[in-house]
Structure formats: structure tokens, C-alpha cells
Structure 1
């Protein structure tokens, strides 16, 4: 076990020297910065819509106080909504957008917006490069002679799992810091309430599982095909072009989970609704398939890399 952990630390050293870690960190900074800007821009758009609704209601002789005292009903039909009290609806959306700008609410906001799409892509690419590192630098034969296939495979495998957890932790902390600095820079006085902080432990666990699943899958795919290009194209096709397949499709499970463990009232991205399925069974089945893939890829690639003489 000590030997494996030592090899994992060596893998982190290689990833650091290859500037993979610093590049990943830079992308996380950009992601968090863009999330803060999107929240700020979303507030302005919602305020503009509220002001427009206010003018329309005032022309009809209805005050904000009167509108807030009336019922609000929202009927959904597919992706369309029928709103009975537009002014009240817009008013609460502005309130939610101001609350979302509180730095302590930033983790909830980034994980309900651009991180849903881009964090798995970023970490998937990272995992592809980790898998292909020794082939790229032509050190695979030396590594196999020094460490053996088992140690080499699992040291990379566990480094990806640890890095996935680290990425979620860093993204959570970065989002708070960057939102605080962004508010200072633009002079935003965010609503002081902290509505979403109590859900952070569950959100952290969920995001870690999702990134581990993406990281491990594209590590295995790159190991199997020995090409970062093929793996990255497959990653982009799956995330950007392939529609939601429903059922136990990982994207479908993600879409269903987000609305259950996050507050999406001020999300800056419109996320399509997932198709209803059994979430627990879906994740258990997905993890089961991933375990099977780990065993298959390990055995096949070991036989290919270390054929018996």
C-alpha cells in the first residue's frame, strides 16, 4: 500500500511538472470568474424585466404592494410557462438574484450553471492527458520496467480520483473568493442572506462522484484507445451534441439530481428537465458498469502492454 501511495505522489509530481495541475487551476479560475460575471449580468437582466413589468402594471393602476398580495400561479407545459402574476414573479426573481450574489452562495450558483456542462469537460480532458502522459513523453517502457503495470495503472487511477475531489473542493473555495472580489470590484451590495450553505456537504459529495465517474471513464477510454484526440472528441460529442438519452444515462441522472440538491431559483443557465427514473438504481448501475470497465480495460491493456514471452 505504501508503495502504491508513493507512486501516486510521483504521478502528482509528473502532473505538476507537465503543468497539467496549474493549467487545470487556471481553467477553474476562469470558470469561477465567468460564473460571477454571469450572476451579475443575470441580476441586471432580471432588474430590467422587473422595471418593465412595473411600468406595465402601473399603467393599469396596480401597485407593487397590490401585486405582491395577489396569488402567483405558474403552469408549465414542456419548456413553456404560464405565469398568472408577472410582476410578483419578476420581483422574487430579482430577490433571488441578489441572494445569489452573496459569496457564500457562490458554490450553489456555479454548480447549477456553467459547471454542470464545463467542469466534466475540463476534468475529462485532464484525465485523458494523465492516461496518455507516458505515451506522449515516450516513457511508458521505462515506467513499466520500474513500477510494473499494476502500480503504474492504479497510481494514475487513484491520482485521478484524488484530483477529482480536490477539483470540487478548490472550485467551491474559489467560487466564494472570486465572488467576494468581484462584488468589491463592481460595487455590488449583495443580499446578506445565506440560503444554500447548508446543502454544501451533500453538493460536494455529489459533485465529487460525478467528476470521478467522468475522470475514470475517460482515463479508461484513453488507456484503451491510446489516443487523447479520440477520447476528447468523444467527450465533446457526448456533452455537447448527443441528446439526453434518458433512463440511466449519466447526463439524465445529473439533470434529475441537480434540481433535488441545489437551489436553482437564480441559475444562470436554463437546464432541460431530465426524464424521470430511479436515481439510486441509476447511480448503482452506473458505478457497476464503471467497475466492470475498470476490470476489462486493466486486463486487456495489461496483456497488450506486458505480453508474456
Structure 2
């Protein structure tokens, strides 16, 4: 019985075009990251060429500086760079590496901190709102008991989040591969090598973290949709929280997400996030788990207390 209701929820999501829309939206945002990294390669290469020309015009020792080291120092007027030619060459090399198939998937998952709250928050909102919009919640909660309805919804949320994430990553990686193969037309990438330090974590860990973020915000979006029955209220709440309100410290969900992101990802490309405030692995994990539990309990409470015939 549960399997049938679960399938019905998935079919409803497909027929309502929710899954298609959110997959396309995710691919679009991933595409922006890929495009920005591609443009960063080209622009930093141009900067490298200008620096190279300056060295040649002033008879400076290029080889000696390229064999040396560089330092950056923040000043009141901006950033001061010693040995700029090596700095620009290393920057080009790093962006090329970030655009390469070796790192492409990692960079897309790094963007989960920026994009997933919006994409998957909206997914959860739409899953909840459509039941009220098309009055299907009456039919569903009368035909099956509310406990079965809640479980079927949660399973559909977990599976649809996973499916949208995987499809979005596969298609975006293909796009990234195509874009990377266009780079040799703009610059000699073989002249720029980048040897990354030991990666912070395996690709499996990175994917699991990305999926947890996707599932977390789908659940939060669904909770907001269930409570407010309005897409815009929930959407504004998520955007204001993630991108406008400051990080409040160790008890803040954002801080916990930032903490794990800095532990898991390397951020060699264009993605950069705020440095977390002081916290611990256990405390950050408990904060994320607490938000999951509170969101789930809120869903159960609201659906149990609300009449099936309330629109």
C-alpha cells in the first residue's frame, strides 16, 4: 500500500512538471558557475599576458620570478602582490584545474551552499503548495490516513531531491566538459599545470554532503509550504535567512553548513563562502540534525491538527 502511494506522489510530481522545472533551474545555476569559472580562466590569462608584457618591456627576469614564490598582503587600497607574474600564472592554473573534468563535479557540489537553499527550498514549497492549490490534499488524506500521507510525502521528497540532484550534476558535468574543451582555443592550457594539495575529502563525502543540504532545504521548504500555504512567504524567508541575515554563531544553521563545507571542499574555483564562526564537528552536526527533526515534527503537527477539508 505504501509503495503505491509513494509511486503516486512521484507520478504527481512528474505530471505537475515540478521535477522538470527544478531540474532545469538547477542546471541553469550550475551553468552560471561553469560560465563564471570559464570567464575567470580567460580574464586571468589576459592579466597574466599583461604582466608578462610588462616584464619583457622592462627587461625583468621572468624565469627567476616564476621559479620563486609570491605573497599577497591586504592594504587600505586593496591587495598588494609580490611577484605578480607567478601569482597570475598560478591563478590561471588553478582556474583551469577547477574547470577540468578532474575537479568539475567538486566545484558544482561546492555551489550547493549557494544554490541548494533556493532550488530545493522552492522544490519543497511547490510540493506542499500544489496539494493546497489543486485541492488534492483533501482526496489524499481522506483516501489514506494522515500518517501514511506524511510518510509517502517524506519518501517522495527524499527520492525526488536525490533524482534532481543526480540528473542536474550529470548534465552539468557534460556541459562543463564541453566548455573545458573550448579552452585550448583561447589559451595554451598545457603551459599551466596545477598540483593540488591532498583533497579535503572523497567525492562520495562531497556528494553525501550536497545531498544532505538538498534534502534539508527541501524539507524546510515543504514545512514552510505546509504552514503558510504560500510559495512567496517561504521563498522570501529562505532567501532572507541565507543571504541577508548575518551568521549568528555556533547555534546558527548557516554556521554549521559553512563549517562542514570548509572541512569537505577545497574551493579552487570561483565559489567562495563565509568563514564559519567557532564551533565543533559534533555541535555542527547536532544543529543540522535538530533542524531536520523540528521541521519533520512541525509537518506532522500541522497536518494532524489541520482538517483534511481545509484549503
Question: TM-score normalized by structure 1?
Answer: 0.86
Match of 2:6 in 1: 8
Q: How far apart, in 1, do the equivalents of 2:200 and 2:262 lie?
A: 16
- CA deviations 1:64-88 (Å, max 9, x no partner) are 321122233345699x755433222
Match of 2:293 in 1: 291
**Alignment counterpart, residue 254 of structure 1, candidates 257, 260, 264:** 257
| Structure 1 gap segments, 5+ residues each | none
SS at match of 1:263: coil
Q: How far apart, in 1, do the equivalents of 2:247 and 2:75 lie?
A: 19
**Alignment counterpart, residue 18 of structure 1, candidates 9, 16, 26:** 16
Q: How far apart, in 2, do the equivalents of 1:100 and 1:139 lie?
A: 46
- CA deviations 1:251-292 (Å, max 9, x no partner) are 222323333222212x22443322232133112232124213
Match of 2:283 in 1: 281
| Structure 2 gap segments, 5+ residues each | none
Q: Give the 3 Å change call, closer, same or farther, for CA 197–241 of structure 1 in structure 2.
A: closer
Match of 2:134 in 1: 137
What's the Cα RMSD here?
2.8
- CA deviations 1:144-175 (Å, max 9, x no partner) are 11112111122112211222222332233223
Match of 1:180 in 2: 177
Q: How far apart, in 2, do the equivalents of 1:186 and 1:58 lie?
A: 25
Match of 2:240 in 1: 237
Match of 1:206 in 2: 209
Q: Give the 3 Å change call, closer, same or farther, for CA 237–198 of structure 1 in structure 2.
A: closer
Match of 2:118 in 1: 121
**Alignment counterpart, residue 48 of structure 1, candidates 31, 35, 46:** 46
Q: How far apart, in 2, do the equivalents of 1:110 and 1:99 lie?
A: 13
In the alignment of these two chains, the number of paired residues is: 302
Q: How far apart, in 2, do the equivalents of 1:240 and 1:198 lie?
A: 26
